[in-house]
Structure 1
Amino acid sequence: MKTPAPPRSLRDLRHLTPARVGLGRAGASLPTQALLEFTLDHARARDAVHAELEFSAIAAGLDALGLQTLQVSSCAQSRKEYLRRPDLGRKLDAASRDLLASGRRGPCDLAVVIGDGLSPSAVNAHAVELVRNLMPRLRSGGIALGPVVAAFGARVALGDEIGALLSARMAAMLIGERPGLSAPHSLGAYLTFAPKAGCTDAMRNCVSNIHSSGLSYDEAAFKIAWLVREGLARGVTGVALKDESGGQPAALRRDGP
């Protein structure tokens, strides 16, 4: 008779997730170590929100990939205003609109926008490497790219206005996600077909949790490229486009290509 496997413990669960489980207690409070770890992670999350987007480093990294980078800003004049007025982060300021509108660029399939969002630290850490992994997949699909736009004070919807000004069939907003206590440096990618001001979240696909303990660059690039390719072919994104990619790049599947 087969011996049943021993039941899993909370200690086993802690090895499977960075979430706060099985912290224990000291009287009516948390143990000192758990409290110190919470305080440190809270400080890291706050630092991520208030970090600055490192445009020069990002532009240099993209230039090495052969990509032109434009710099724009939302109507939020400061980080404090950005946090207090989300609506201002969804609109370009006048100078940025003029810059994009005066470029006389032809239409493109995809406009890639890199926005600081609620975690500029995530963008500084992951955006260039994600684009590096994404580019070969887009090129193999024959997807024509416009210039990459780095946006300060950006909310997700800012990519809609940018995509429309660049005459892009689709916009991909790579943006820092709201920091959590276990993931202060998480990057998200939001894809919108036929971008224009007024698009709703129901019209977008999202690939989130791109960071060292979440989706790898290769996994994320695989999903994004599949959604871009299928979105352009079908003329939709959002609730009308489900991720049927199989979940992982062929190199990571057990059954091979």
Structure 2
Amino acid sequence: MSDFWEQLRATTPARIGLARRGNAVSTSDVLRLGAAHAIARDAVHLPLDVAALRAGLYGIGLGEPIMVPSAAPDRATYLSRPDLGRRPAEPLQRVGRPVDLAVVLADGLSAEAVHRHAVPLVGKLLPLLDAGTTLAAPVIATQARVALGDHVGEALAARMVVVLVGERPGLSSHDSLGAYLTWAPRPGLPDSARNCVSNIHPPHGLDHATAARTLAALIGGARRLRATGVQLKDSDDELAS
């Protein structure tokens, strides 16, 4: 029976077939669970390494990023006041000419996810975009939630904004990245106006190349439909190449 569970456990990070000691889970599994919980808690509080992100963005040719802090002044406030993470600390002034796409790297609830996956994902995405796609200067957002991208996209006059944000850590993954695409971003949009590609964290989650292909297809579909969210599905014929 142990061989049966070992084969299944090799296919998933989920905790299945845990050993029992009487009426309780084995001590080793309890300790592993406690360690996973501690890693998840640490991921929530880890600060974003802005310097490393800057270097990564330079490395893929996106240049100097714009820094946008949210209205949450510190991590404790960010966690207790989600609303403050959805808007910038100061009103953003509209800059530059209209562009097709703005990319926002936001710490969210797992800076580790952004450190590991955001720049590699963007690097895979850029060659898949339609020729002539114009990009705004990249944005690094701190103490940020997804809706902060609506303010950024509007200020950068972007037709679309994609927010790469650290997802809520769990006991099986503490470094999962989400990519949220919004057409015609502006403050006040509901979540139903966005598309999300989630669970990006190879090797156990979606790999960077697959996530980039899905995101590029959604961007192309959004451009044709002039809409995202409930009007655009990644299984629709709209995304067929």
Q: TM-score, normalised by structure 2?
A: 0.93
- Structure 1 or 2, whichever has the larger Rg, is 1
Alignment root-mean-square deviation, CA: 1.7
Whether the 8 Å CA contact 1:226–1:245 is kept in 2: the answer is no
* Aligned CA distance change for structure 1 residues 65 and 245 (closer, same or farther; 3 Å): farther
Whether the 8 Å CA contact 1:67–1:148 is kept in 2: the answer is yes
Give me the whole-angstrom Cα distance separating, in 2, the residues matched to 1:126 and 1:244.
24
- 1:107-154 superposed Cα distances (whole Å, 9 cap, x missing partner): 01111001000001110111111111111112x443211111000010
Please, which of 62, 65, 69 is the counterpart of residue 67 of structure 1? 62
Please, which of 23, 37, 41 is the counterpart of residue 36 of structure 2? 41
Q: TM-score, normalised by structure 1?
A: 0.87
Give me the whole-angstrom Cα distance separating, in 1, the residues matched to 2:18 and 2:134.
50
Give me the whole-angstrom Cα distance separating, in 2, the residues matched to 1:112 and 1:245.
24
* Aligned CA distance change for structure 1 residues 245 and 128 (closer, same or farther; 3 Å): farther
Match of 2:17 in 1: 22
Q: Report the alpha carbon displacement of residue 24 of structure 1 after superposing the two structures with TM.
A: 2.2
Match of 2:87 in 1: 91
Match of 1:255 in 2: none
SS of corresponding position for 2:141: strand
Give me the whole-angstrom Cα distance separating, in 2, the residues matched to 1:207 and 1:155.
16
Letter in 2 for 1:55: V
In the alignment, structure 1 residue 214 sits paired with structure 2 residue 209: no
Letter in 2 for 1:35: V
Match of 1:241 in 2: 232
Which segment drifts farther, 56-65 or 8-17? 8-17
Q: Report the alpha carbon displacement of residue 58 of structure 1 after superposing the two structures with TM.
A: 0.5
Q: Report the alpha carbon displacement of residue 9 of structure 1 after superposing the two structures with TM.
A: 4.1
Which segment drifts farther, 60-69 or 158-167? 60-69
* Structure-to-structure mapping, 1:191-210, within 5 angstroms: 191-210=181-200
Which segment drifts farther, 57-66 or 218-227? 57-66
Give me the whole-angstrom Cα distance separating, in 2, the residues matched to 1:54 and 1:232.
33
Structure 2: 5+ residue stretches without partners: none
Which segment drifts farther, 210-219 or 63-72? 63-72
Whether the 8 Å CA contact 1:75–1:89 is kept in 2: the answer is yes
Please, which of 161, 169, 172 is the counterpart of residue 182 of structure 1? 172
SS of corresponding position for 1:188: strand
Q: How many residues align?
A: 234
Give me the whole-angstrom Cα distance separating, in 2, the residues matched to 1:245 and 1:215.
20
